[in-house]
Amino acid sequence: MSEVLFSCWNGKVVDNRAKEADTLESPAHISLPANFFNGKDIKAFMGWGGFVIKDSGISIVNLCVAFLEKVQQESCGQCTPCRIGTKIMLEIMRGIAEGRGREEDLADIISIGEFVRKASKCTIGQTSPTPVIDAITYLREEFEAAIASKNSLTKDDTSRYIGKVTAPCINACPSHLNIPQYVEDIKHGRFLDSLQVIRENTCLPGVLGRVCVRPCELSCRRANADEAIAIKHLKRFVADFESDRHITPKIPRSTSRKDKKVGIIGAGPAGITCAYYLAKKGYQVTVFERFGEPGGMSAMGIPDYRLPRSVLRREVEIVQSLGVEIRYNTLVGRDITMKKIKDEFDAVFIAVGAQGSSSMRIEGEDAGYKGYIPGVKYLLDINQGRDPYPEGKKVVVVGGGNVAIDCVRSSFRVGKEDVNLVYRRTRKEMPADDIEVKDAEEEGVKFHFLCNPTRIIAENGKVTGVELIRMELGEPDESGRRRPVPVEGSQFIIDTDILVPAIGQAIDLSFLDADTQLEVTRRNTIVVDPETMMTSEEGIFSAGDCVTGPGALVAAAGGGRTAALRMHEYLSGKPVKRSDGELMEDFFSAIGVYDPAEDLGIIGGGQRKHLKMMPPEERKSSFAEVESGFSVSEAMIEADRCLRCYRIGVVAL
């Protein structure tokens, strides 16, 4: 990695310009990834916290012009300081760059910049003057030289500048929804506009508004002052606003129908999302789905009390309204061969998810005992309206993830009386959503922490119990969680009729025939080129759980959308590669957008709004949706808490 010449980030300055090679400092608060942009090194970066210069050929004046141009492009134009102030800063700076600088220019930029920083409404205005002011403060001689020389600096500048706007929440979201924008639309009562913003990046607002694991809320700056914005609930609110009023959404789509055909395997979040964005571009899309119902894991793995099937069906109907054909009850490999799909379609997208269950590797697992039901299968049965094992009344579920929680909570709803959850670590380490764990506790699930199954006990081919061993937490493993270690001789037995392992999902690629041998990893995930989303076979793309391993719905949906973009490029003969915007978003992730330690300097205390829930006794026996959404006024008040933490960055290549 080439060394930093000069950097100033959050006021911390590193100046290596006059230093010997062995005394160079590295900035502690920001590091730029090397060879980031298709192998090109970043020469300089200017963003919300300051700037970093690595290449001595970069003109700081031109960098400021490029940055301020981007600020003007992104300024929403409502508040005076940002709209006019940054424009005047830009014009003065451009004057300097073009050899028309005046002596008083620098003082003017600083005084206007300081005003913009202090008086603007949102963080575009509050952060954008900072790097420019810092640049003038620390590299004043370069600006003065530019003013004195009266020469144009822009003529010979061969650098390419790429600008991008993001926000902590946008950056954290795998689908990169423009969250501050849609939240602001809600605040102003423009609910359908808000939904349109959401649909730019996902076609599943009602689904994600209910079951998203919301990485955005974990990166919400408002939490530094009080509590994160209820982003998920707000998304659900606008989705429900539309569907409750039976409004047919207007989906902007390409007017030209393309003659290329795309086949998609799997109507889960990734497949449906990919279909939506390709259909919007005018492609003829056919989706093959093994079940009689769309949604994949989101339909079969998520119980109705969290995600009513009608919500999913409606969103899929909207996708179908764009001309997407879904062939239900069509299992690839059984009802249609992979070869036939490849012959029939110009491109194929594999989004089969991770529908198998991981094994616990304990004695008795493969014996085929009645009452031993893998988690995904258990949920699948319940979600199809069947009790997986009517005779069994006592259930033990093993695992700490969302599937395990869904299994225990669903158990009550099919009439199981004694519901237990076994997890080898403690509650703190549970990967499941904390709120759901709380809901499960309220509903009366018995938790057995620091235990792990060692043996299944069965009589006459039926499960009668499970032997557990006590665990204790040792050293942290690669995931950062402390590794559970068995305590010798601490085995004990719990009686049970049903044992549900829900310790992980596996990927089943048995539908691939001899003709299609895709490269897979050790974990049986499909290998794709992250740049093109293409598998080892030309024209076959893949995303979602079958590529990443079991993950969040929003990540699979995001993968489906990215794959749609790449497939469009592939089918229209354009270079198949990540766009500048996507690369910039990755770059922002690498340098970090959210700083949990930042002192916002605002007065907090605004309470986050919560959804009303059915009381535990009532909800535990019902598949009706547990939470009811925001009212109009609740949504608007909640949306008003958003700080619009937009951040702008420009790199020079």
Should residue 397 be labelled a site residue for another protein when binding is judged by CB under 8 A?
Answer: no
Shortest distance, position 234 Cβ to another protein, whole Å? 17
Q: Is 111 in the site for another protein (CB under 8 A)?
A: yes
Q: HSE of 305 in the Cβ direction (CA atoms, 13 Å)?
A: 26
CB nearer another protein, residue 115 or residue 138: 115
Provide, rounded to whole angstroms, the least separation between the CB of residue 125 and another protein: 9
By beta-carbon proximity to another protein, the closer residue of 83 and 261 is 83
The separation between CA 515 and the C-alpha centre of its own chain, rounded to angstroms, equals: 34
CB of 193 to another protein, least distance (A): 9
224 binds another protein (CB under 8 A): no
- Out of 72, 159, 243, 491, point to the residue binding another protein (CB under 8 A): 72
Contact range with another protein by CB under 8 A, out of 72-80, 304-312, 453-461, 505-513:
72-80
> Which residue stretch of 80-88, 153-161, 415-423, 568-576 sits at the interface with another protein (rule: CB under 8 A)?
80-88
Which of 80, 159, 337, 454 is in the footprint of another protein by CB under 8 A?
A: 80
Judged by CB under 8 A, the chain residues 576 through 605 that form the site for another protein are 600-603, 605
Q: Tell me which of 28, 35, 40, 104 binds another protein, using CB under 8 A.
A: 104
DSSP code string of 244-271: HTTPPP-----SSPPS-EEEEE--SHHH
Residues pairing with 9 in the sheet = 12, 50
- CB-CB contact of 61 with 144 (8 Å): no
The neighbouring-strand residues paired with 463 are: 458
Please tell me the distance from the alpha carbon of residue 553 to that of residue 272, in angstroms, as a whole number: 12
Give Cβ neighbours of residue 305 (< 8 Å, ≥ 6 apart): 409, 410, 413, 619, 622, 623, 624, 625, 626
Tell me which amino acid residue 109 is. I
| Residue 472: CA count within 13 A, CB half-sphere | 5
CA distances 243 to 109, 240, 307, 318, Å, are 50, 5, 15, 11
Q: Which burial class, exposed, middle or buried, applies to 580 when counting CB atoms under 10 A from its CB (0-12, 13-18, 19+)?
A: middle
Minimum CB separation of residue 151 from another protein in Å reads 21
Nearer to another protein, 64 or 287 (CB): 64
Residue 115-154 contact track with another protein, rule CB under 8 A, x = bound: x-xxxxx----x----------------------------
Number of chain residues interacting with another protein (CB under 8 A): 38
Query: Are 289 and 312 within 8 A, CB to CB?
Result: no
Instruction: Pick the closest to residue 460 from 562, 359, 523, 367 (CA basis).
Output: 367
CB of 163 to another protein, least distance (A): 13
Residues 177-196 that bind another protein (CB under 8 A): 188-189
DSSP β-bridge partners for residue 288 = 265, 327
Residue 599: CB minimum distance to another protein, A: 8
DSSP 456: E
What span, in angstroms and rounded, lies between the C-alpha atoms of 420 and 564?
A: 42
Q: How far is the CB of 60 from another protein (least distance, A)?
A: 21
Does 282 engage in binding with another protein (CB under 8 A)?
no
Residues at the site binding another protein, with contacts judged by CB under 8 A: 71-81, 83-88, 91-92, 95, 104, 108, 111-112, 115, 117-121, 126, 188-189, 600-603, 605
